[in-house]
Amino acid sequence: MPLSVFPVLWRGFIKETISGNTKKGFMDLKWEKRVMRRRNKIFAASVIATIIILIVIFYRESNHEWKHFQKTYNVKLAEKLNSPDIKNEPLRINQLWLPQLNTTDRCMTCHKGVENPMFVNEPQPFTTHPGDFLKTHSIDKFGCTVCHQGDGQAVTVEATHGAVHHLNRQLLAKEFVQASCVKCHIDLHDNSVTADTFKGIRTFFEGRGLTFQYGCRGCHKIIGEGGSIGPELTGLGSKTELAFMLIHDFEHVEGQHTMGQWIYEHFLNPQKVVPGNPELNFAPTIMPNFGLTPEQARALTIYVLGLRNPKVDAIPYEYISQKRLAQASSKPVR
């Protein structure tokens, strides 16, 4: 008989003693069998629950999204190279740690073809990185999130793409990544730098031009120039999602509740996004509706997100555009 049964038997013995049936209570084998059956059922249920939990854990560990992507990539690569052994390559999380940028990126766990020119016509996440950016921005030095932002440590689609509200900064995909170029190329706000002299970010320059076309600096201060009727836009792109949400109302935003989407819809229709709220003593916006097209609103959004704060971004000195540094050092000291 297991030792754990004795406390239960002893309680039963005391109970029967008080009632005057000591001999009968102590020798009641039926009562003891009932206790054992109850314990056996509890033990069996615990074993079954443990087995189910282990099966679920094993299934989830064996069916991660990134494993499926890597298997598919290996199959495609094996076919392209006519090397069947590649299909059996071990699956693993690929991690890049860049202490100088204080980032850890695991994006290549799924985007394995990002540097492989043979995958230029493949769909995401297998396709090659567009353009020639990786020729001058090697992944080993820059990683991914310094430009694309998002959560570099996550390895699921849900936690890395779309609106992920726990992130400090949302993922910048497609042409929106142009907003990050200013982190290192600090001369992009200089009008002497154009789309002809700096290739690959034409939408950013379109947005910069629109700020002059519509006189944005008449109300907003941008890089030390402009008025004070509206809020200053310098450094807006370096704000966290939380810092932006704390002072902006998203009730009338139709799209995803992110900083970029708020700015985009506000450019399209300022009065719709900020109609005011008399109950909370919030005044409606005084920003005019310029009748911008979606393309113009997107270009302006990219430009405004490119208004960075170097102290917040904290990009190391060696990453800053050397051309701009050379120009700055060549100016005479006054």
- Asked if pLDDT for residue 267 goes beyond 80, the answer is yes
Q: In angstroms, how far is the first alpha carbon of the chain from the final one?
A: 96
Per-residue pLDDT reduced to its tens digit, 57-112: 777 766 788 999 999 999 999 999 999 999 999 999 999 999 999 999 999 999 99
CB 175 within 8 A of CB 306: no
- pLDDT of 1 over the 50 cut: no
Q: Is the pLDDT of residue 25 over 60?
A: no
* Mean per-residue pLDDT, 203-216: 96
Q: What is the pLDDT of residue 328?
A: 46
- pTM for this model (two decimals): 0.78
pLDDT of residue 309: 92
Domain ranges of the chain: 3-62, 65-161, 180-334
Angle between helices 29-62 and 6-18 (to 10 degrees): 150
Quickly name the fold that domain 180-334 has: Cytochrome Bc1 Complex; Chain D, domain 2 (1.10.760)
Region 183-199: mean pLDDT is 90
Average pLDDT, the chain: 86
pLDDT of residue 66: 92
Residue pair 137/143 in contact (Cβ under 8 Å)? The answer is no
User: How many angstroms separate the CA atoms of 25 and 16, rounded?
Assistant: 5
